[in-house]
Amino acid sequence: MRKIVVWIVVINSVFFHNFIRSNNILQNVSFSFNNKQYVWTRIEGLDNIFRNAITFGKEKTYFGSSRGLYALTTDNIKATKIKGIDDKVLFLTIDQDNNIYFATEDNYIFIYKNDTSIVKIEGVEADADVTALALDSMNNLYLGTLAGIYYLPAGETVVEKVSWGDYVIFALIIDDQDDVYFTTNKRDFFSYQRNKKDPLVLIQNLNELIYTMAIDQTNNIYLGNYIYQTKTNELNQINLRDRSIYSIAVDANDNIYYCSFLDGVYFLKKGADQVIKTNLFGREVQTIAVDANANIFVNNNEGSFIFQIYNPPIIPDPVVKPKDMVVAKVLGYVFLGTSGAVGISCLGTYLWNKYRYKKSRRR
């Protein structure tokens, strides 16, 4: 019985960790752009995630996919489909009370409240294709559409169209002062403040169409190949090679991740003015998002994945009697210098001879 226990310890603590690999997990992947090690894991039970359809709740991560709305709990790798939502969920966001606002391919808007009920939002015109959802600090919802901007006051279920213009909206975002920023089909970039009558044109005729934006903790706005500093009204360019940016993510340290469908992922370190390109997430990347714990969520042409910071397992040293220490060290060197099978064979021989020696002494 003792021999069986010892063999299990050896296989579990040494052989397993050094020689067995899962098809789903690749350990110790070095990301040179942020000097961290990651483990990637495929998210099970989840179809294709749309480009602006990942949001983080208090205890769950929510995904909009081609088959509805899904949720993933912490420390789990299998997403659960939320019942009653079967349409393609293209956009979603979350308020301070953990209510999920989402838009479907058929231009229906819903609120998933308290992880229990689904409430439909009325008032959006049938041809007003939704292109963006954003919430302000008071949980008021703004909808960017191809037929202008809609506004949903907190606690209401009927939207109203804003009176300040019928723009064709491509992207929309809100800063911590509740100022609204949006881009249009004419490659213009606007801001709107509540105490103003009309939006302010910040930039006209950008060099590219902007389909997505992100904002950091100091209200710098990232849009395509540009960074707009709201405090100084400065516009700076970076060296993105591919201008077809589908998704932009900001981590807790204000590092920026640009997702390109044709050219992988670009990384912009906080304070830098030049991006670093990486293919570690794949090349055809449609979606990227980073949560508060630096977990990176990616959807590429092979599926959906989580990249988590890799912490090597700590394997305690076995308790060895002083007279056996030299033998144990020698066996350890044999194991590491040869194949696992040779090491285990040597250990087995040693234990068997020791057992025979003790048995003969009893006689």
Q: What does the pLDDT look like over 78-112, one tens digit per residue?
A: 999 999 999 999 999 999 999 999 999 989 999 99
Check whether 72 has a pLDDT greater than 60.
yes
Check whether 211 has a pLDDT greater than 80.
yes
Model pLDDT for residues 290-325, shown as the tens digit of each residue? 999 889 999 988 889 998 887 767 777 776 555 555
Per-residue model confidence (pLDDT) at position 283: 75
Check whether 230 has a pLDDT greater than 70.
yes
Model pLDDT for residues 345-355, shown as the tens digit of each residue? 555 555 555 55
Using the structure block, give the residue that is written with the tokens 């077809």: 244
Check whether 185 has a pLDDT greater than 90.
yes
Identity of the amino acid at 252: A
- And the tokens for 203? 């930039």
Greatest alpha-carbon pair distance for the chain in Å reads 103
Domain borders along the chain are 2-23+317-362, 32-309
In Å, what is the CA distance from 257 to each residue of 170, 340, 353?
A: 20, 41, 59
Check whether 28 has a pLDDT greater than 50.
no
283: β partners: none
* CATH topology for the 32-309 domain: Methylamine Dehydrogenase; Chain H (2.130.10)
Identity of the amino acid at 80: T
Best mean pLDDT range from 109-113, 239-243, 285-289, 301-305 = 109-113
Are 26 and 10 spatial neighbours (Cβ–Cβ below 8 Å)?
A: no
Check whether 326 has a pLDDT greater than 90.
no
Check whether 356 has a pLDDT greater than 60.
no
- And the tokens for 321? 């009697």
pLDDT band at 51 (very low <50, low <70, confident <90, very high): confident
Are 137 and 145 spatial neighbours (Cβ–Cβ below 8 Å)?
A: no
pLDDT band at 239 (very low <50, low <70, confident <90, very high): confident
71: β partners: 62, 80
Check whether 25 has a pLDDT greater than 90.
no
Residue 178 CA to residue 180 CA, distance in Å, equals: 6
Is the pTM higher than 0.85? no
Check whether 343 has a pLDDT greater than 50.
no
Check whether 10 has a pLDDT greater than 70.
no
Per-residue model confidence (pLDDT) at position 189: 96
